[in-house]
Amino acid sequence: MVARPPLKLLMLHGYTQSGPLFHAKSRALVKHITKAFPLHEISAIYPTGPLRLNPADIPGYTPMEDSSTGSDEKEDIEAYGWYRRSNTAEPPLYVGLEDGLDAIAKVLNEEGPFDGVIGFSQGAAMAAMVASLLEGEKRREAFARFAPASSSSAGVEGFVYPASFAKIDHPAMKFALCYSGFRSPGDRYRAFYESPAIQTPILHVLGSLDAVVDETRSRSLVEACVGDPESEGKVVWHPGGHFLPSQRPYLDAAVRFIRECLEGGQQGGKGKEEEDVNDMDLPF
C-alpha cells in the first residue's frame, strides 16, 4: 500500500490560550481539512507559547476572592502568549517576541517540515511573521536593511533576524491562514513586511464585529502581502466577532485556498458531503 503524502499544519493559538485550548477551538476546521484531502495524511501540531500569563495580564479578568481569608490569592491559570505588548514603549514593543519565535523555531526543527501555518489573533500575527522569516535570502536582507536605527523615521532600531531561524533548515511555507490577524506596528518590525512584501500566500479571515482586533490593524497585514489579496479572494469576512468561524462557507473557503496553494488552483473532483460540524462560535 502506497503511503499517503503528509499535509502538516502548524497551529498557533491566540493570547490567553494554549495549544490544547486552540486544538478544541479549531476542531471543526481541521476536521473539514482532513475530509477534504483524503489522499493526504493530515497532522496538526499545537505548540503552546512560552509566556505563561498572570491574571493581571488578561484583559477583563477578575480574580476570585478567597472566602476564608478575604484576600485575592494568586491563581494558577492555563493561559499563555507568544509575547506581551508593552503599554509604555513608543513605538510599540513586543516583549518576549524573541522567545516566542525561538519556541516556534524549535517546533519547526523537531516536528517539521510543515506545509502551512494557521493562527488565531496573536497566533495569526505570529503565523505571518513565521511565514515571512522562512522566505529566504531576500527576507534576511530586509532585516539587515531595517536593523540600523538610521533606517527608521523614528530612530528606532529594527528587530534583528532571529538566530534560531538562521540555524534551522526549513522550506518556505506553502500557505498561511490568519484568523483575526494583524501586523506588528511601528518601524521596529518593518522587515517582516517590507522590501519585499510577504510572498507566502495568506488567507485572511476577519470578523466584521471583531471588537478585539481593530479592522485597520488587520488591513495593515493584508496590505503587507504581495499582490492585491482583496481582489484575489484572499480576504474573507464573516459576520461575527473575535473567533474562528465554524460555519460551512468559511470552512470551505479555507479548504479551497489550501487546495489552490497545493495544486496550483486545480480544483479536482468534489469530495463527499461533510458531516455537520460542532458549533464553536464562541469568543476566545
* CA distances (Å), origin 233, targets 119, 228, 250, 281: 19, 9, 13, 23
- Measured CA to CA, the distance from residue 156 to residue 143 in angstroms comes to 13
Q: Residues with Cβ < 8 Å from 64, sequence gap 6 or more?
A: 72, 73, 75
- Measured CA to CA, the distance from residue 284 to residue 275 in angstroms comes to 24
204 among known catalytic residues: no
What cell was used for 208?
Answer: 466584521
* CA distances (Å), origin 280, targets 112, 165, 176, 243: 29, 34, 21, 9
Tally Cβ neighbours within 10 Å of residue 203: 24
* CA distances (Å), origin 78, targets 63, 96, 119: 14, 18, 19
Which of the residues 210, 218, 238, 246 is marked catalytic?
210
The backbone torsions φ and ψ at residue 10, rounded to the nearest 5 degrees and listed phi first, read -95, 120
242 among known catalytic residues: yes
Q: What is the DSSP letter of 211?
A: S
Which of 25, 17, 24, 29 is CA-nearest to residue 53?
17
Which of the residues 18, 26, 121, 164 is marked catalytic?
121
Query: Is 118 within 8 Å of 127 (Cβ atoms)?
Result: yes
Using DSSP, state whether 50 is helix, strand or coil: coil
Which of the residues 13, 32, 238, 242 is marked catalytic?
242
Catalytic amino acids?
121, 210, 242
